[in-house]
Amino acid sequence: MKIRRIAAYRVELPLREGSYKWSGGKAVTVFDSTIVRIDTDGDLTGWGEVCPLGPFYLPAYANGVRAGIAELGPHLIGENALELGKLNHRMDAALKGHAYVKSGIDMACWDLLGKAAGLPACVLMGGRFGDDFALYRAISQESPEAMAGRVGGYRREGYRRFQLKVGGDPDVDIERIRAVAAQLQPGDRLVADANTGWRMHDALRVVRAVRDIDVYIEQPCLSYEECLTVRRHTDHPFVLDEVIDAVDVLLRGHADRAMDVVNIKISKFGGLTKARQARDLCACLGVAMTLEDSWGGDIVTAAIAHFAHSCSPEAFFSATDFNSYVTVSTADGTPQRTNGRMAASTLPGLGITPKMEVLGKPVLVIE
């Protein structure tokens, strides 16, 4: 099944809460998402999506997705969309790095593979474990009281896992963690995600000050080495995110015992094919995972659902339902959160049907 045409659509996704804030004063109010469409000579169409968390989170930006696809796309016309290992090999040969550019193309080809096989993507990725899986809710950086209030509200909506955006003034961050922890009930999980925002001395003060609290510490500092220093001075469970973007650093982290949990974001690894390699490796190594993406709307959420639902429960930590954070829906058939949990579609491929009236005309067509 040969790739005949690649198109990209640009969609704006405003945030339901108005804005999303994290370390260092970084904030987004409207996300710029790229939806990728791949048409084949077999008359099947596949869909993918890439949505960076602004231009200042990872080395990725929204216009870069489109520019990258314009560069890479011509090398993929005529390639077999269903041979995903070979297709990724071709993408890496034609464009070095730029993992996030490749993610939407790879995702669309998983959608095609499922449609061609008549199977949901989660079945092809390993199988559906259980009825559904647990989601976490990211709590945008605000005052300690406001964040505690948000956690209380989202808890009433069914979430039991919360990821606090800290990485600000360490003294306020200590208050944030304490205020939120006071809201929690047995069985809840709390993660304090500094998103690289602390220096080592700040992080060491925070972990000591919250030593009596059951909280995971996520990506305290910018570099792997700084995070490892903090890790070696705390007994809190430890999560790495921004610095884990490929199998080599994952293996290094495992050898150093640098983390207990990693966040595998689909576009950070370059698509579902590579994210799945990392996921299955982590499962073998005993490292738990949050399975997600940098951001996205309905199509990314559908992909996350298949990726998460096919992860063994022992290795699974949490996943994200980005479509509930934004006000614009781009596809029908996307899974919706129920009581803090979600399940992948049982339809072939990703199981979604894009809303063409929302997507509008493509901003880029390669054929």
When asked if residue 245 is in the footprint of Mg ion (CB under 5 A), the reply is no
Strands 353-354 and 331-332: antiparallel
Binding-residue total with Mg ion (CB under 5 A): 2
Catalytic residue check, 165? yes
CB of 240 to Mg ion, least distance (A): 9
Residue nearest to Mg ion (CB): 241
Cα distance between residue 343 and residue 309, in whole Å = 7
Annotated catalytic residue: which of 165, 268, 274, 361? Answer: 165
Catalytic residue check, 361? no
Retrieve residue 221's tokens.
């500092």
**Interface segment toward Mg ion; rule CB under 5 A; list 190-198, 226-234, 249-257, 310-318:** 190-198
Residue type, position 119, single letter: L
Residue from the set 32, 49, 106, 193 that interacts with Mg ion by CB under 5 A:
193
Torsion of CA 115, 116, 119, 121, to 10 degrees: -60
When asked if residue 241 is in the footprint of Mg ion (CB under 5 A), the reply is yes
What SS3 class is residue 357? helix
Binding track, positions 321-360, relative to Mg ion; x by CB under 5 A: ----------------------------------------
75 secondary structure, DSSP code: G
**Interface segment toward Mg ion; rule CB under 5 A; list 22-30, 44-52, 104-112, 187-195:** 187-195
Produce one character per residue of 51-75: b if its CB has 16 or more CB atoms within 10 Å, e if not: bbbbeebbebbbebbbebbbebbee
Cβ distance to Mg ion smaller for residue 1 or 50: 50
Cα distance between residue 94 and residue 220, in whole Å = 35
CB of 130 to Mg ion, least distance (A): 25
Cβ distance to Mg ion smaller for residue 49 or 241: 241
CB of 245 to Mg ion, least distance (A): 12
Confirm if 5 and 79 have CB atoms less than 8 A apart: no
Cα distance between residue 145 and residue 308, in whole Å = 32
Q: Which residues bind Mg ion (CB under 5 A)?
A: 193, 241
Query: Could you list the active site residues?
Result: 165, 265
